[in-house]
Amino acid sequence: MRVFAIFLALCLMAGCASKPDYYVSATPVTIPKTATFWIDTFDVEVVGKNDRFLPDEKVREQLHTDLIGRLLEDNRYASSKEAADYLLDVNSVYARRIQDTQGGFMSKIVADGTLLASVDFSYQVKVKKAGAEVLHFAQARQGLMPGGAIGQF
């Protein structure tokens, strides 16, 4: 019985000591549903280079355009920086995990013997109003598609 109690206590301590892969600031903030946003800074670090994939600048441009498009869909993108209720500072890391197949079947399909194992995407967003940070949140997403030669179920 003591061994079980010690094991349970160790499991609880390990769970309480771990950090989640996302973060939301602890300060309660209420942002109106009609508030508009402007992307003040948008930085993307692209990791994992290969000639078959989009160049870094194209990845940055497409992610920036996608974010603006999503804000426009919800009528939340301001017409100018001065007209915006909130400014956004976005920092993200787009990491391609490229795997060397070291011969085998994949070398018959892919000329250089490498394939995209997975994609990791992490971001941190700071929401500012009148020059002061009101809210920030972040998330790290690892092992996104395609998941190697077999893929993810």
> With bands split at pLDDT 50, 70 and 90, how would you rate the model's confidence at 11?
low
Q: Please write the tens of the pLDDT for every residue from 19-71.
A: 555 556 566 788 899 999 999 999 999 988 877 788 999 999 999 999 999 99
* CA distance linking residue 72 with residue 76, whole number of Å: 6
Amino acid at 132: A
Query: For residue 50, which phi and psi values (nearest 5 degrees)?
Result: -165, 145
DSSP state of 55: P
Q: Is 115 within 8 Å of 97 (Cβ atoms)?
A: no
What pLDDT, on the 0 to 100 scale, is given for residue 5? 60
What pLDDT, on the 0 to 100 scale, is given for residue 43? 95
Q: Please write the tens of the pLDDT for every residue from 75-115.
A: 999 999 999 999 999 999 998 887 766 655 555 555 666 77
User: Whole-structure pTM over 0.75, yes or no?
Assistant: no
Q: Which residue ranges make up each domain of the chain?
A: 20-144
Q: Is 145 within 8 Å of 115 (Cβ atoms)?
A: no
State the greatest distance between any 2 C-alpha atoms of the chain, in Å, as a whole number: 66
